[in-house]
Chains A and B, each alone.
Chain A
Amino acid sequence: MIRFEQVSKRYEGGHEALSQLSFEVAAGEMAFVTGHSGAGKSTLLKLIALIERPSHGQIVVDGQALAKVGRSGVPRLRRRLGMVFQDHRLLMDRTVFANVELPLMIGGIAPAERSRRVRAALEKVGLLAYERQLPDSLSTGEQQRVGIARAIVARPAVLIADEPTGNLDPQLAVEIMGLFAEFQDIGTTVLVASHDLPLIKRMHKRVVVLDHGRLVADIASEEVL
Chain B
Amino acid sequence: MTPGQRRWLFLAAMACLAVFLVWGLAGLPGFGDYPGPYGDIINRIAVSQTNATGVVSAINFEYRGFDTVGEEFILFVAAAGVATVLRRLRGEREGPARDEAAGRELQPTSEAVRVVALALTGPAVVMGWYLASHAQTSPSGGFQGGVVLATAFVLVYLGGQFLAFERISPVDLTDAVEALGAGGFAAVGIAAMVMGLPYLQNFLPLGTVPGAVSSSGTIALISFFVGVEVAAAFVLIVGELLDQTLLVRQGSE
A and B associate in one complex:
no
Task: Point out residues on A near B: beta carbons under 8 Å.
Answer: none
Task: Point out residues on B near A: beta carbons under 8 Å.
Answer: none
